[in-house]
Structure 1
């Protein structure tokens, strides 16, 4: 039996945006407001992250898309999003695709054609491959929210060291000079994201001790995902990383949701436990 938590990229990355924009984008900016745009006319999906920011080039819309798989249609998507942003907010978009997939990037970052001076297109955006970021470039900095991404970084070292690399990431998170609650959130996100590149049994082996130590189920991110993110859609790739096969974990989560007053039918859907099993937990 498998258990799946339905969450969105926003649930995972919402606390990381300042560090992402400062570290990956290298922008000198002041964040003004978050722009929640639903591209209804395009693909009926929400953008991942769009912020109105003040930069040295004036007010812009910083648009970040998180991608866990290669998508040959990505340039077309990004161009459509660009036009939608400009139309709705009258802001020039600064667009980035943050690629967190296992494979090498195979997506184009541009669209162009030339039918003469009066009919041309030259459109480009940035693609940042997290796998190209070195472990040592982040560990030791104060971009602590980015430690959740460590399991996806340093692709060559990660593939060479395997499980030992993941252990190294967990140790780095344990050593962060932050309070325990913040460490819980960072650890939980790192465990989820690890599923994109590591096998489930390796993740559970490496994270088991720190999960018990930090009591991850008490983290605010864990609660948010369980309580609020259940009915959201999940990006492919991450879904594989948060499948939990052990029945005891399903029962544990069912108990927690019962305590919080959630309907039994919904709990059954989330945990894939039979309703009869859940009713027994009440007694």
Structure 2
């Protein structure tokens, strides 16, 4: 798997995570920004395709949300997820902030165009010594007015899955698996592979997968996350593990262990939906939920056998969903 393919998989999985239910997005935003939103605030996902401007390249922001609170006030949130260090990230964030603001600019009572810059953060997934705690740009206007443009940085790679769970950042815990890509690459570039160190990294990966599953279960039991959010997290976890497995781990026993851990949880969810459907006389609605999970797993490239076990749907039903 090439670096570009690997990065594309990470990008797609990240976007998949941010398609989770609104309450999970609100929990994440209120931990990353000093903003007090209630969990029933309305989340509107803005397509990057509409955030553009003549003269700029097609490089567009990653995740942009509009949040409407109970008082009707609007806030705009921009989260840029970055795998590797980028020395131009400070300029990119200024550009993205302007584009997002310009796409919703308005005129005030003095006929002056108003551009509001969104709340922004850069989330780094892989460690690099040059990553700073915040990005700073000093903009000097012709009249010597100075504008300080500062964007906070969240170093996700510096936290364990457990720590992210304790911080209520449960939605992004699958992304802790990305940091192992660099550890594997560094080790595999050595002339003589240190097998003990390689096996230790594999154990760390499996331990993190197990921790992610455990955190998801605890959050669901506490009512912090719903079943749909849990499914999104587990599906993303499986996809990121598959990427590590195909390129580095390549051990069937490890893959089987991960699949069994995740299948055991998804089977419980499927069984629970089935029982609720019978008890409430709403089995059809639960089947549709299972189909939605299957569609997500299909989008992530999961094998039919895994989807069957995870959802309880038949092979014919899964094939129809692919059409």
TM-score interval, normalised by the smaller of the two chains: 0.5 to 0.7
Q: Number of aligned pairs?
A: 242
* Cα distance between partner residues in 2 of 1:80 and 1:74: 10
SS of equivalent to 1:47: coil
SS of equivalent to 1:162: helix
CA RMSD across the alignment? 4.7
| Residue 223, structure 1, aligned to residue 295, structure 2 | yes
* Cα distance between partner residues in 1 of 2:206 and 2:76: 38
Per-residue CA shift, 1:220-251, capped at 9, x if unaligned?
Answer: 56633634x78xxxxxxxxxxxxx9xxxx699
The answer to whether the Cα contact below 8 Å between 2:31 and 2:167 also exists between their aligned partners in 1 is no
| Residue 94, structure 1, aligned to residue 102, structure 2 | no
Aligned to 1:84: 99
Aligned-pair CA distance for 1:258: 8.7
| Change over 3 Å in CA distance of 1:191–1:83 after alignment to 2 | same
TM-score w.r.t. the length of structure 2 is: 0.56
User: After the TM superposition, which of the residue ranges 12-21 and 214-223 deviates more from structure 2?
Assistant: 214-223
Aligned to 1:167: 206
| Residue 132, structure 1, aligned to residue 204, structure 2 | no
* Cα distance between partner residues in 2 of 1:12 and 1:210: 19
Q: Which has the higher contact order (CA 8 A, sep 6+)?
A: 1
Aligned to 2:190: none
Aligned to 1:186: 233
Aligned to 1:71: 86
Aligned-pair CA distance for 1:79: 1.0
Aligned to 2:144: 118
Structure number with the higher helix fraction is: 2
TM-score w.r.t. the length of structure 1 is: 0.62
Per-residue CA shift, 1:125-183, capped at 9, x if unaligned?
Answer: 1111101224442345665434323435799xx99962332222222233323387755
Structure 2, unaligned stretches of length 5 or more? 106-115, 188-196, 221-225, 268-289, 308-314
Structure 1, unaligned stretches of length 5 or more? 231-243, 264-283
The answer to whether the Cα contact below 8 Å between 2:202 and 2:249 also exists between their aligned partners in 1 is no
